[in-house]
Structure 1
Amino acid sequence: MKKLVLVAAAGAALAALSGCATITRGTNDVFVVETDPVGASVKTSHGYFCDATPCSIKMPRKSEFDVTITKAGYKTWTGHVTNKISGGGGAAMAGNVLVGGIIGAAVDGSSGAMKDLVPNPLIVKLEKEETPAVAAVQ
């Protein structure tokens, strides 16, 4: 009887401490930015940045943010990154439901561990800035 209580307590403690996706996937994702041409600077609305593409930025999986890409001689590009439930995150949530880990499911849901950033990788073809025509001198 004492052994049964100990096993039950250990199981409850383990379930309370974590969710499946939080353990297997983590709460951060590597956000990759590639540009054509390379060497553009990237800044997110959350303040994360990189000086030259291609680059990778570690971001919380549950983030939603705007991305601004700049390079001298090219038009500034701005876009939005969101998140969605990933296949791996959905499978981890299903594991929580099947095993009865309501606390684990709550942890996974609130931590964002079952989500992926989209688009990821972000691939952008930059457009050249148009140079104004020079007036002929008479």
Structure 2
Amino acid sequence: MNAYLRIGAALVAVSSLSACATVLRGTNQKFEISSVPPGADVELSTGQTCVTPCKLKLKRKESFTATFKKPGYQTATAQVESKFTGAGAGAGNILAGGIIGVLVDSGNGSMRSLRPSPLEVKLVPADGSAQ
């Protein structure tokens, strides 16, 4: 009976450590945002703000819209998608973690990446002329 308990405990311990992408990639992503010209105020639909160029730590599982504003330029928006990265992120789970690791990683967003990355937006002058 003790042998069964030890095996069960070992399986539970291994399963709890099997979320490979969570361990290797994390649930957040360092995300760079820039504009041409620089110095634009950026507001994300998630509530974060910055002035370009900037770097933010964002959750991998949340798609968002970025709105760029700069005096003398038209307001611009860009969509950033949270996309499943699959192959590399999930390979460790298939080999070592099994279904529990896949469920953990897919639920917390660690198997996803924000795209495009980095995000760069070219602002258009308010008068519509090209620069």
Please report the TM-score for the alignment, with normalisation by the length of structure 2.
Answer: 0.86
* Aligned residues with identical type, % of pairs: 45
Q: Which residue of 2 aligns with 1:97?
A: 94
Compute the RMSD of aligned alpha carbons: 2.1
| CA deviation map 1:59-106 (0-9, x unaligned) | 1101111110111111110121112122xx532312212225211110
Distance 1:16 1:33, change over 3 A: same
Q: Which residue of 2 aligns with 1:135?
A: none
Q: Give the total of aligned pairs.
A: 128
Distance 1:34 1:96, change over 3 A: same
Q: Is the 8 A contact 1:90 1:114 kept in 2?
A: no
* Structure 2: gaps spanning 5 or more residues: none
Q: Is the 8 A contact 1:43 1:67 kept in 2?
A: yes
1:22-41 matches, within 5 Å, as 22-41=22-41
1:36 maps to amino acid? V
**Offset at 1:127?**
0.8
1:1-138 matches, within 5 Å, as 5-6=5-6, 8-50=8-50, 52-86=51-85, 89-130=86-127
Matched residues in 1 for 2:2 and 2:88: separation? 35
Please report the TM-score for the alignment, with normalisation by the length of structure 1.
Answer: 0.82
1:48 maps to amino acid? Q
* Structure 1: gaps spanning 5 or more residues: 132-138
Q: Is the 8 A contact 2:35 2:52 kept in 1?
A: yes
